[in-house]
Amino acid sequence: MLEKTRETTGFVPEEVILVKLGEIVLKGLNRNTFESVLLKNMRRRLAAVGNFDVKIAQSTVYVIPRDEQADLELAAERVQKIFGIVTFCRARVTEKSMERILPEACRYLEDTLRRCKTFKVEAKRSDKAFPLTSPEISREVGGALLEAFPHLTVNVHQPDLVVRVEIRDFGAYIHGEPLPGAGGIPVGTGGKAAVLISGGIDSPVAAWCMAKRGLELVPVHFASPPYTSERAEQKVKDLLKKVSEYAGRMFMFTVPFARVQEEILQNCPEEYFTILMRRFMMRVAERIARKEQCGALITGESLGQVASQTLQAIACTDAAAEMPVFRPLIGMDKSEIVKISREIDTFSISIQPFEDCCTVFTPKHPRTRPELSAVLEAESALDVEALVQECVENAVITRISPV
């Protein structure tokens, strides 16, 4: 693999990224399909930060710079947010000989080793033609490190650093502790779903959760100008850019929703306003989802969090759609949702004070346990099909790409 890079570009990389796969390895006969999608996603995400070869062999993905301009640090940041990867690390690559491995281990890990007090060496010999066994490699490397860094001692149970040496078909790889990847399965392997996205905390987290399970996302956002501002819509775009760092590019449908809300306000009992609004959202999102060949809808609802998220209200909402509705946050409390939003860096955007359409015309006393028959009676005052069709026809599409 490295020889091919040398032959085609004349450049010999000293450092690469090694990627370990997650649950992909359990996919049996479908494993090749999952690996193919992962490699495609990785190549797309890395294209903007340099010229890299992305190859898979021996259950490991190799990210290999093809020239000096390839930014390995930025590449590592992007790799960390690609679903399907369980761990990854930057590694020094060298020839498969102890004469090269020993000095390179000392040089490559020097800064880290000087900050440590204890260490151990773990060796893995995938290339069985290599003359030393894994325990022998560990002893040789450990001895060289102790000689080069006299302050160190060996601790095989709780070391400050585990030095890893992997002897593979394409070379010897030296690295420290691997970093956690995003986990999950590659986006695109689970199908496609439309996510109802607002500017709040919950829906971006729900979108991230389902992208982690391999779903390609089609965001549907409901805007209500003049009651909501352009800054509220930009807030949603900023949230989706954060999600797209994990989920990849997507196309957001912004639906003008003010007329629907005005019609409900003027013609229906106030206590049913929220549930009727949610039913219209589901219908519009489903119509867009079918046009985009999606197989499900996604919402950010959590049971009992607000009036529209009681068991009875959710049942009335679902009755307006025929597609499956995924609610990955349904059993989470707010602190759990906030924790994830902080981890994926959407929280600070979500709390910006730009209100979305869900806060427009909020009833003083919403019906928390609505009966479907009463909801349908209230809804009968509206031309449902005409309003839904108007929303779909006037939706504006925006491409969302990772930052």
pLDDT band at 1 (very low <50, low <70, confident <90, very high): low
- Helix or strand run (H / E) with residue 163: strand 161-168
Q: Calculate the dihedral angle through the C-alpha atoms of 154, 156, 162, 164, rounding to the nearest 10 degrees.
A: 100
Q: Model's pTM, two decimal places? A: 0.90
pLDDT band at 10 (very low <50, low <70, confident <90, very high): low
CA–CA distance, 159 with 154 (Å, rounded to integer): 7
Q: Average pLDDT of 65-84?
A: 95
pLDDT band at 70 (very low <50, low <70, confident <90, very high): very high
Pairing of strands 215-223, 250-256: parallel
The per-residue pLDDT for 2 is 53
For residue range 95-126, list pLDDT tens digits in order.
Answer: 999 999 999 999 999 999 999 999 999 999 99
CA 302 to chain centre: 20
For residue 19, pLDDT beyond 70: yes
Which of 118-133 are b and which e, b meaning 16 or more Cβ less than 10 Å from the residue's Cβ?
A: ebbbebebeeeebeee
Q: Average pLDDT of 143-152?
A: 96
CA–CA distance, 165 with 124 (Å, rounded to integer): 6
- Helix or strand run (H / E) with residue 274: helix 273-291
Task: Using DSSP, state whether 103 is helix, strand or coil.
Answer: helix
Least reliable range by pLDDT among 2-6, 185-189, 337-341:
2-6
For residue 29, pLDDT beyond 90: no
Q: Average pLDDT of 374-388?
A: 96
For residue 46, pLDDT beyond 60: yes
Strand partners, 120: 162
CA–CA distance, 82 with 76 (Å, rounded to integer): 10
Write out the two tokens for 248. Answer: 């990849």
Average pLDDT of the chain? 93
For residue range 197-218, list pLDDT tens digits in order.
Answer: 999 999 999 999 999 999 999 9
DSSP string, 111-160: HHHHT-SEEEEEEEE--TTSSS-HHHHHHHHHHHHHHH-TT-EE-SSS-S
| Backbone angles phi and psi of 191, in degrees to 5 | 100, -155
Name the nearest CA neighbour of 36 among 53, 51, 56. Answer: 56
pLDDT band at 7 (very low <50, low <70, confident <90, very high): low
CA–CA distance, 137 with 98 (Å, rounded to integer): 8
For residue 84, pLDDT beyond 90: yes
- Helix or strand run (H / E) with residue 260: helix 258-267
For residue 354, pLDDT beyond 70: yes
Residues 6+ positions from 386 with CB-CB distance below 8 Å: none
Asked if residues 126 and 167 have their Cβ atoms less than 8 Å apart, the reply is yes
The per-residue pLDDT for 403 is 66
For residue range 319-336, list pLDDT tens digits in order.
Answer: 999 999 999 999 999 999
| Percentage of the chain modeled with pLDDT above 90 | 84
The per-residue pLDDT for 9 is 56
Give Rg (Cα) of the chain. 27
Sign of CA dihedral 17, 20, 22, 28: positive
Which amino acid makes up residue 105? A
| Percentage of the chain modeled with pLDDT above 70 | 97
pLDDT band at 18 (very low <50, low <70, confident <90, very high): very high
The per-residue pLDDT for 229 is 87
CA–CA distance, 136 with 117 (Å, rounded to integer): 23
| Span between the terminal Cα atoms of the chain, in Å | 31
Domains of the chain: 2-181 (3.30.2130.30), 191-400 (3.40.50.620)
Q: Average pLDDT of 248-262?
A: 96
